[in-house]
Amino acid sequence: MRTMFRTRVEGVDNIPGSGPVILAGNHLTFIDSMILPLVCDRTVHFIGKDEYVTGKGIKGRLMAWFFTGSGMIPVDRDGANGGVAALMTGRRILEEGKIFGIYPEGTRSPDGRLYRGRTGIARLTLMTGAPVVPFAMIGTDKLQPGGAGMPRPGRVTVRFGEPMEFSRYEGMDRDRYVLRAVTDSVMAEVMRLSGQEYVDMYATKAKAA
């Protein structure tokens, strides 16, 4: 995997060496979740579709082996309580002092631009006190256009920003204005790191248009 994706990593020292941490970044294509665990010294736990570990045949077994080994926790996100289950899983991981990776956009970008973040990221940092380390995936969409098929070899960059903390909003995890402000702050930093054009609408809405 490392030889296939020639990865330049910037700012990885910004990730604290211990304690709970939220890694929040942009999501361009499927292989983002394969590259992120490879560039971090600590295990990155993240939510993934349960279909990633239930596939059949050799391909299905290889995917299950890789994702479970790299820290993915399967969740049925399409179910009625999928969002709540994902949030509670993230909270548990952070309360155990681990790293939780999240894509605030909630889905892959349909066109390479950065879309509005969902407020689950804000709820997690305010509920747990975990700092947020923003990151940017750069170039992964060129290796796997459309997120389908086998990725081709090439160069990518993973850029980490400085930790962000929101202790000034402690106890305000039910205030929707605070949740939006925190989320927008994180997304602004992701935009700065990635250089992407920002679109103030949800990616799911853009995909449905």
pLDDT tens by residue, 27-70: 998 889 889 999 999 999 988 766 655 667 776 667 666 666 65
Q: What is the CA radius of gyration of the chain?
A: 16
Q: Containing H/E element for 98?
A: none
Q: Tokens 């999240």 label which residue? A: 102
Looking at the structure of the chain, the number of domains it has is 1
Q: Which domain holds residue 151?
A: 5-208
Helix, strand, coil % over all residues of the chain, rounded to 5: 40, 20, 40
Taking the model in full, what pTM does it have? 0.87
Dihedral of CA 188/130/44/178: which sign?
negative
pLDDT at 60: 66
**Chain segment 118-172, per-residue pLDDT in tens:** 999 999 999 999 999 999 999 999 887 765 667 777 899 999 999 999 999 999 9
What is the number of residues in the chain? 209
Q: Token pair for residue 151?
A: 């990725």
Q: Token pair for residue 42?
A: 């600590």
pLDDT at 54: 60
* 169 and 182 Cβ atoms separated by less than 8 Å: yes
